[in-house]
Structure 1
Amino acid sequence: MKKKTGLLLSLTLAASAVLGACGNSDKASSDKKEFKVGMVTDVGGVDDKSFNQSAWEGLTKFGKDNDLKKNEGYRYLQSSKDADYIPNLTKFAKDHYNTTFGIGYLMEKSIEKVADQYPKEQFAIVDTVVKKPNVTSITFKDHEGSFLVGAVAAMTTKSNKVGFVGGVKSPLITKFESGFKAGAKAVNPNIEIVSQYADAFDKPEKGSVLASAMYGGGVDVIYHASGATGNGVFTEAKNRKKKGENVWVIGVDRDQNQEGMPENVTLTSMVKRVDVAVAKVAQEAKDGKLKGGKVEEFGLKDDGVGIAKTTDNVKKVNPEILTKVEELEKKITDGEIKVPATDEEYKTYEASLKK
């Protein structure tokens, strides 16, 4: 009887141990949260052929590199208007995404508000600085890359007149404008530069109107920093090229060579590696290294900005242009040239050229 009792007790203890192990395994499994990262576009949309699209390409590469499934491990929510920012950011925060990216400085106030409401969640914003302990700010030295394409424009123009089309006047877009103008003046102090703003990043029709006025007024190279509004600049340039006019567009944020086809109106592009920055920060989050409350800045030294690899049209204009651009880039990275980022800095820079 004692043997039977002992055997029964042993079996009971063994079963309890097995069940306990299974229970712990289930608990460990449920405690292990699957990594998820979300991205909220600004009004330009994920297929703006510019800023948002570049960010999504970076997040997609990160997802594939880490074997994550689209719409599960990584996904985006599109904003059709400013009022969509907070609801979209909030959705990711409520669903406990490991990191939520807000694409564009227009989302600054929305990120601040949602980050305060969800202090345990991590956020990242591109192109502005939000001083919150759970927000990583991703910025670029846009003025440095713009300086280089400004020099290209000045060495390409036949009319001695180039143009800049901005989306919305702001400290950010002023970096593009100031850098572009400084680069143009660096190689041709007497060049004429026309600047106009569309007051929108999602109005291609406004881009067409501004470009039409510029080209009609003698400008033959336009650099745009206007998101989807810039699509209208390309449309106008292509229409004029069909009629025999020799006009160019300089793209922004990503290599926009294809946007100029089939008429081939893209001279070059100022590449802003939003894709690289977003992928890097997402990887930091997955590796548990993203703490928030810091600024990550990408410039010429970091390959965060620069001229697109597609340079065939520049070479056709004059092969020596790229040699000059390399010289200017080295002077910037060596600290010999300090590129202006504001209107005031540009005025000081321009005055220094006249001495």
Structure 2
Amino acid sequence: MLQNRFGKLAATTLVGTMLMGAAACGGSDEPATSAKPADGASGAPAAAGGKVGLAYDIGGRGDQSFNDAAAAGLDKAKSELGLAETKELEAGNGETEAAKEERLRLLASGGYNPIIAIGFAYSGPLKKVAAEFPDVKFAIVDDADATGANISNLLFAEHEGSFLVGAAAALTSKKNHVGFVGGVRVPLIEKFEAGFAAGAKAVKADIKIDSKYLTEPPDFGGFADPAKGKTAAEGMFDAGADVVYQAAGGSGSGVFEAAKAANGLAIGVDSDQAKTAAPEVQGVIMTSMLKKVDVAVFDFLKGYTTNSVKSGSTVYDLKAGGVDYSTTGGQVDKIKSKLDEYKQKIISGEITVPDKNS
């Protein structure tokens, strides 16, 4: 979900790395079915040994969440598609758009093609750089505004997956009181909150839902401040909540710490965080809203190698397996049938999940 650390360059030349564990899919550990791309311009094929550039969001590889999901897709592509060289660059907290432009320009001028930008903050910079390098294929995750003949927009129905974990929170809560911690108050993160609230209220119409955003734009530090995440969650647990969902990138680790200290429960995001979070807090993560950035990244790179990259938007929704909930740890086993019932109602259209707060 979200934006990265210092602008250090983490250039790597890696060969044949095995795929990092794919996130669990709706009660199983099987990978999601890939979404079908939208129509648009096709890209030039990348021969085995092609050079792939990836510009991370705040936090970079190792954030245990959004960026690590992207890294998993890149690792799978390196293993299965024979990519000989990749360069992975990180964004800096509070950096200018000019810095993001230069990061993308560095990759393009260095012969990397295709290039993937992770996170909506690359929107303006990517649109500008893509116009400068029309023969390079670009993809951006979580943004539909940067458009062009050589830009693929990889989007997700975060509100649908969040509905499922909101229902899980309400079904599990013993106090009829849950919470949501968002990293930065932007429309993307508000989709997570809207879906979570809708799911919780579908189970218990009178449930109390606390909400807190760690920062407001243009300050994107809320995605990389575990101390703020911990403080926000502590306030919710102290006020009586017993389950807190975080959509806060690297700040989510603080939410998990607060849940453990309060003998409460937390809900992870993007990756299956009962697997990726620090071992000492994994037990408090009852489920995670899975956002299959790994699937989208791999799909794009595979399409590039087969000359089938499409420009424009591809939406990875619940029906396509782009979002889901995890079952690691068995804490939602008793309510899995109810969650799957909600899931099928969303897929069939019987339930329409709001993507904005009412």
Same fold (TM over 0.5): yes
Structure-2 separation of matches of 1:190 and 1:313: 24
The structure with the larger Rg is 1
Of 89, 99, 113, which residue of structure 2 is paired with 1:77?
89
Q: How much does 1:34 deviate?
A: 4.8
**RMSD after superposition:** 1.7
Structure-2 separation of matches of 1:219 and 1:142: 23
Deviations 1:159-183 (A, max 9, x none): 1110000011111111100000000
Structure-2 separation of matches of 1:311 and 1:340: 29
Give the corresponding residue for 1:302: 320
Amino acid at match of 1:228: G
**1:86 aligns to 2:101 (yes or no):** yes
Number of residues of Structure 1 aligned to a counterpart in Structure 2: 301
Q: Is the 8 A contact 2:48 2:81 kept in 1?
A: no
Deviations 1:191-229 (A, max 9, x none): 000110012211111101101111111111010111001
Q: How much does 1:116 deviate?
A: 2.1
Runs (5+) with no aligned partner, structure 2: 1-46, 216-221
Give the corresponding residue for 2:28: none
Q: How much does 1:65 deviate?
A: 0.5
Which secondary structure state, in structure 1, belongs to the residue aligned with residue 223 of structure 2?
coil
Return structure 1 stretches of 4+ with deviation > 4 angstroms. Answer: none
Percent identity between the two aligned chains: 42
Between 228-237 and 48-57, report the one with greater CA deviation.
228-237
**1:237 aligns to 2:259 (yes or no):** yes
Give the corresponding residue for 1:351: none
Give the corresponding residue for 1:161: 177
Give the corresponding residue for 2:237: 215
Which secondary structure state, in structure 2, belongs to the residue aligned with residue 80 of structure 1?
coil
Runs (5+) with no aligned partner, structure 1: 1-31, 348-355
Structure-1 separation of matches of 2:236 and 2:309: 45
Give the corresponding residue for 1:286: 305
Structure-1 separation of matches of 2:310 and 2:278: 41
Taking a change above 3 Å as real, the CA distance of residues 118 and 206 of structure 1, as seen in their structure-2 partners, is same
Amino acid at match of 1:196: K
Matches within 5 A, 1:76-115: 76-81=88-93, 82-83=95-96, 84-115=99-130
Taking a change above 3 Å as real, the CA distance of residues 331 and 305 of structure 1, as seen in their structure-2 partners, is same
Q: Kindly indicate whether structure 1 or structure 2 has the higher relative contact order, using CA contacts under 8 Å at least 6 residues apart.
A: 2
Q: Is the 8 A contact 2:274 2:329 kept in 1?
A: no
Which secondary structure state, in structure 1, belongs to the residue aligned with residue 64 of structure 2?
coil
Give the corresponding residue for 1:326: 340
Taking a change above 3 Å as real, the CA distance of residues 192 and 233 of structure 1, as seen in their structure-2 partners, is same
Give the corresponding residue for 2:273: 256
Amino acid at match of 1:190: D
